[in-house]
Every structure is written in structure tokens, then in C-alpha cells.
Chains A and B, each alone.
Chain A
Amino acid sequence: MADNAGTLARIDRLAAPIENFANLLAGLAILALMMLGVTQIVMRSVFNSPISGYIDLVELSMASMAFLGAAYCQRLGAHIRMEIFIGRLSGRALWLVEAFATLVAIFIIGMLIYYSWGHFMRSYTMGDTTMDAELPVWPSKLLVPLAFGIWFVRLLLQLAGSIRLLINPDLVPEAVVIMKDVAEQAQDEIHEAMGDEGARP
């Protein structure tokens, strides 16, 4: 498998910017939601003319925050799980269980892509709109299969990464989440809370 070394890492480097961008879009949606809320308060209380269809806008925007970052979150291993058992494994046993866990994920996300696509198509063909402002609903529904598609690719990469290490556990890990112990997680939390200022003194 030595000639395979690097291939996964290369695909990984191709996928990562897409995931980062999707997550940044979700972050910008949060910023936009904040501005929308502030504007709504000002318009309503100062000018006595609330934004029409405000609630519709908020609800439609939520899909971007709820789904776009899913693959980014997956790459960083931030979707929570219980590590009491898997944290004690190493070598082949670890990668076998990781591969199995990723297969479960691939199955359910694949199924949800299929069925959420159906949900989107129904809305698209019927031309379904929101109650108040009559905005089209389909773009928001399309985000689910779209974001899950990126997530699916990331999961396939992680499956390939786990199988590669299952075959030869001595290879340099590529495209897998390296489990962090609680002290390393704590370092991440510190960094998230305080940025670079929080780095070890």
C-alpha cells in the first residue's frame, strides 16, 4: 500500500477548503441573523414598521446554520460521541471500530440525502412558499441534501482512511480523526475561548 501513501491526503486537501467555505457561510449566516434581529428591533420600536416576513426570513435562513458546517465539524471530530470504549483501543482494533462507525454514518447520511432530496423536489415542483411573505421554500430545503452531500464525501474519505490503517496500522494516518484525550480537548476549548492569547504561557 506504500504507493498509495499521499493520495488520500491529497483528496483531503481538496475537500477541506470546500468544507471550510461552507462553514464560513454558516458563520456569516449567524452574523446576518444578528443584523436582521437588530434591524427588526430598530424598525419596530423606532419607526414602528417591522420588517415584513421577518419570521419567514429567520426560519428560511436557519437551514444554512443548521447544516452547512456539518462536514467541517466532522473533519474536526466535533460531533459528539462517547469515547469510553473506543478511546481504549489502538492499532487494528481501533481502525476496525472506526471503520464500522463510519459505515453506520455513511448509511444514514446516504439515506437522508435520498429522502431529503425527495422532500426538496416536492417543494420545488409544487412551488411551495412561506405563510407570511410567500417566499419560496425550496432553496432552504435544497441545503439539506447539498450539505449532507459534502458530509457524505468527508465520511467516505474517513472510511478510506480507516480501512487503509486497518490494513496497515503503521502507516502515517491520513484523512482520519485522531482521537484527542481530554487534556488535548481542553487545549482546544481554551484556544476557542481566547484565541491565540489563550495559548500556553
Chain B
Amino acid sequence: MILGIGMDNTFLVGMIALGLMLVLIVLGVRVVFAAAVVGFLGLVEFRGWGPGGGIAGIVPHSKSSVYALSVLPMFIFIGFVAFHAGMTQTLFDAARKWLGWMPGGLAVATVFATAGFAAVSGASTATSAVFSRVAIPEMLRNGYSKQMSAGVVASAGTLATLIPPSAILVIYAIIVETSVGDLLLAGFLPGIVSAMVYASIIVIWSMARPGAAPSVSGFTWGERIASLPGITPILAVVVIIMSSIYTGWATPTEAGALGAFVILVLALARRTKLSAIRGSLMESAKLTVMIFSLIWGVLIFVRFLGFSGLPGAFTEWIVALPTNPMIILLCILLGYAVLGMFMDAIGMLLLTLPVVYPAVMALNGGSYVSVEDSAFGVSGEMAPIWFGIIAVKMAEICLITPPIGLNCFVVNGVRPDIPITTVFKGVAIFFVADVITIGVLILFPEIVTWLPELDLEAWWNG
């Protein structure tokens, strides 16, 4: 007991805690400490020092030693080694030969090459960094504007978070306790749809401005076919990860391990220095501990939230609102867009989901609702997956919006000759594309749910 309210008014304690956490985070306390300290004090208030502190003391170990989470370090490691495996140039080269003839062909090629690289890397920012080196010089040489070249590279990097292996999708699955495998599968098609929307916007934009983004043609079919063997390692990793989850021949962790192994062997075959591999290990360990800290910190807070009954109260309030559920959903997404301008994507999702997620599920009609009776046209079983993809896509937009859109700063960092304002202007049309994509995913949830619902396992086993 600290305040002396205890269990008499759990709602009040919950509100005080939420307010305190907000103050701490705005002050600049690291998210793991802010969430853990508020959760800890709250548990002590409810249960006393011994039992309350005891609950908090168990969470870091028990919530980290979960098999499903072991896929995270694998995916993170793949991301850090992927650059050294050196497939970026071959990917871009192949995409250029196959897609260069389109209006804005090199930009379209960049989008699909990035989508391909996303299949071996879950790191959005790293993907933008890598393609700034590969694609921007080629586009500038062919007379593309700096704005267009930089914009497409910064934006296409965000595709990495939807196309498996994606760390942020795994984190979402852990927090809302849904299937990691289903979520990874679900990200695949929306990732492709995002890429298609990007490509369409580029084509339309280029046709409206003839000469601004010229096509490159003159490749023979022989050259095109010859460009394909170079991208087989990527296909191998895609097949390993997607097929394992689908058919169940390996768990996501094992598939991630095999994918990482393939990429590591490729990197070593390219005579990557051991110091670079060691560097990748150090970076992977650092990012892994950062993410795990966030997870247990937020889960201490979530344990407390459960006692407070706050998520339930928030859900009841939201469901009782006379407003159309779709409008409420749009307001929540708008909230994410604004919050994302000031906060890291993973931190934002972890902090908000414990309260927002149950409310959205209830708005849709609960766990057992059918597609027909649901508010958002997605069954109770599939709603967690569908909302996950939308929330993650939303969180990714914050990587390209001012003032702290990190992808844009990364492009500017690799190409100091392109001013940051030019990059932000360049991503504007892709921001529109992202809004269109989210609209499409809300209107046609089937794009998200089709792959996870497709029962390939039964087909595979006859």
C-alpha cells in the first residue's frame, strides 16, 4: 500500500498510474523504466510489498523465457547480416531489367527490389539505408529528380515490416497473445499490396510529368532471364520461412534459424570480414535486449492493468459510444498517426495495445462474431491478425513523417547532397499511398485473412 486506496477503488488507482506513466514518458524516462516502475508501484498498492513486488520480480524471467519469443533474435540477426550477403545490387539489377520499361521504371524497380530485400530483412531503416546506396545513384544518373529518388527509397524501406521476417509483427503477436505464424503469413499479401500501391502511384505520377522519371528499356529477354539466378537465395529464404509456417515442418524459430544460417553462409562466402560478423552479433544482441526489456517492462504494467480493470472499463465505454465503430477505428488510427510523429513504432504499439486492442476487438463484436455480424467485416478469430497488420502499417508510417521520420534522415545521411526537406517532400506521395493501402485493408480485410485462413496444411498432408 502506498496511496492507501488499494483494491477499494481500482479504477482510480489505474487512472493515477496511467497519468504518472504519461508524465514519466514525456519527461524522457526510458519506456522500460516508466512502464515497469508504474506497474510495480501499482502492484504494490494492490497487493502489498511482498506479493506485489514478488509478482513484478517474476515477470522479466517468466515472460522472456517463452519459446514463441525465440524467433525474435533470429529475425533480428538475419536483418543485420543481410547487407553483408550482398544481394541488394543483384536484386535491383534484376528488378531494373524486368520493370525498367514502365513509366518511372527505376522507381518501380526500387520498390520491388526493396520488397525482395524485405523478405530477408525485417528492419525498415536498414533497408532504406542499403537502397540509398544502390538505387539513388542509378535513378539520378537517368535524370530522376532528387525528390523522387529519395522519396521512393525512404518509403519502400517500410515494406520490410510487413513482409516476413518481421520483428514488429512478432512483438504484436506476443503482446495480444495471438499466433505468431498466422500474423507472419498475414503480413505477406498486405506487403505486396503496399508495394503495388507504391508502384501505381509512381506510374501515375510519372505519366503526369513526362520526362521527370524516364523509363529505361532495351533489355533483351535473355538478359532478363540471366538476372534471375542471382536472386535465388532470397527466394530460398522466402520459401523456408513461408513453407515452414504453412506446413508446420518447422517452427518460426527453426525457420528463422535456417534462414539466418543461409544468409550467414552467403555473407561468409562473400568474404565478409569476421569483425563485421562480430559487429552484427553485437548489434543483434543490443536490439534484442532493447526489445525484450520493452516487453517485460510493459508486461509488468499489463499485470497491474489487469488488476485495475481499466482495459475492461475503457472497452465498455468505447462500445457504449453511439458513434459508428468505423469512425471510432479511424479516430484510433489517427491517434496512432499523431503519436507516431513523436515516438518509436515498437514503443508506441507496446504502450497502447494493452488498452486499445481489447477495445477494438469488442467493437468488432467480440471473439466469436461471424464475418457477417462483425462491425469491420472480419471474424472474431481473424480480427486480432487483421488489426495487427493495420496497426503495424500505421506505426510504420511514422518512419517517414516529419519531424523525426528516421527513414528520411537515413537517406539524407547516406546522401548528404539531398537535403532532408527534399526527402520529406519526396515521401509525400508515398504517404498518400500508405493512406490508400490502409483504406484498402480496412475495406477488404480478406487481403489480410486469406493466406492465414487458407488451409494448406490439410492440402499438404492430403
Mask of A79-115 contacts with B, CB within 8 angstroms, 1/0:
1111111110000000001101100110111011011
Q: Which residues of B contact A (CB under 8 A)?
A: 24-34, 36-37, 40, 53-54, 56-58, 60-61, 64-67, 69-70, 73-74, 76-77, 80, 83-84, 123, 125-126, 129-130, 133, 249-250, 253-254, 256-258, 260-261, 264, 276, 278-279, 281-290, 292-294, 296, 342-344, 346-347, 403-404, 406, 409-410, 412-414, 416, 420
Contact residues of B: prevailing secondary structure: helix
Cβ A192 vs Cβ B37 within 8 A:
no
Q: A62-B64, A116-B60 are in contact. List 5 more A-B contacts (CB 8 A).
A: A30-B284, A35-B257, A69-B289, A73-B293, A118-B54
Give A38 to B130 CA distance when docked, in angstroms: 28
Cβ B249 vs Cβ A200 within 8 A:
no
Q: Can you report 30 A-B residue pairs in the complex whose CB atoms are below 8 A from each other?
A: A26-B285, A27-B281, A29-B285, A30-B73, A30-B285, A31-B77, A34-B264, A55-B67, A62-B69, A65-B285, A66-B64, A66-B65, A66-B293, A67-B60, A72-B285, A81-B28, A82-B28, A85-B27, A101-B33, A107-B37, A108-B36, A108-B37, A109-B33, A115-B53, A115-B58, A119-B57, A144-B61, A189-B125, A198-B129, A198-B414
Residues of A within 8 A of B24 (CB): 101, 104
> A24 interface residue, CB < 8 Å from B?
yes
Give A63 to B137 CA distance when docked, in angstroms: 44
Give A80 to B344 CA distance when docked, in angstroms: 7
Cβ A31 vs Cβ B281 within 8 A:
yes
Report the minimum CB–CB distance from B6 to chain A (whole Å): 19
Residues of B within 8 A of A28 (CB): 281
Report the minimum CB–CB distance from B189 to chain A (whole Å): 26
Query: Which of B129, B256, B289, B292 has most chain A Cβ within 10 Å?
Result: B289
Report the minimum CB–CB distance from A34 to chain B (whole Å): 5
One of A37, A112, A190 near B257 (C-beta < 8 A): A37
Report the minimum CB–CB distance from A201 to chain B (whole Å): 8
Give A141 to B63 CA distance when docked, in angstroms: 12
One of B33, B285, B294, B346 near A108 (C-beta < 8 A): B33
Report the minimum CB–CB distance from B288 to chain A (whole Å): 5
Cβ A186 vs Cβ B413 within 8 A:
yes
Q: What are the 3 A-B residue pairs with the smallest beta carbon separation, nearest first?
A: A115-B57, A37-B257, A86-B28
Residues of B within 8 A of A192 (CB): 80, 126, 283
Cβ A79 vs Cβ B32 within 8 A:
yes
One of B126, B260, B261 near A193 (C-beta < 8 A): B126
Residues of A within 8 A of B409 (CB): 182-183, 185-186
Residues A182 and B406 in contact in the complex (CB < 8 Å), given A70-B293, A198-B414: yes
Give A42 to B276 CA distance when docked, in angstroms: 28
Residues of B within 8 A of A59 (CB): 65-67, 70
Cβ A72 vs Cβ B286 within 8 A:
yes
Residues A194 and B129 in contact in the complex (CB < 8 Å), given A73-B290, A108-B37: yes
Cβ A67 vs Cβ B342 within 8 A:
no
Contact residues of A: prevailing secondary structure: helix
Cβ B413 vs Cβ A108 within 8 A:
no
Give A78 to B129 CA distance when docked, in angstroms: 19
Cβ B40 vs Cβ A111 within 8 A:
yes
Query: Which of B126, B249, B258, B288 has most chain A Cβ within 10 Å?
Result: B288
Residues A189 and B406 in contact in the complex (CB < 8 Å), given A82-B25, A108-B37, A118-B54: yes
Give A196 to B416 CA distance when docked, in angstroms: 17
Residues of A within 8 A of B66 (CB): 59, 62
> A33 interface residue, CB < 8 Å from B?
yes
Report the minimum CB–CB distance from B304 to chain A (whole Å): 13
Within 8 A of B (CB), among A101-144: 101, 104-105, 107-109, 111-112, 114-119, 140-141, 143-144
Cβ B413 vs Cβ A100 within 8 A:
no
Give A155 to B260 CA distance when docked, in angstroms: 34
One of B34, B36, B253, B288 near A66 (C-beta < 8 A): B288
Give A115 to B33 CA distance when docked, in angstroms: 16
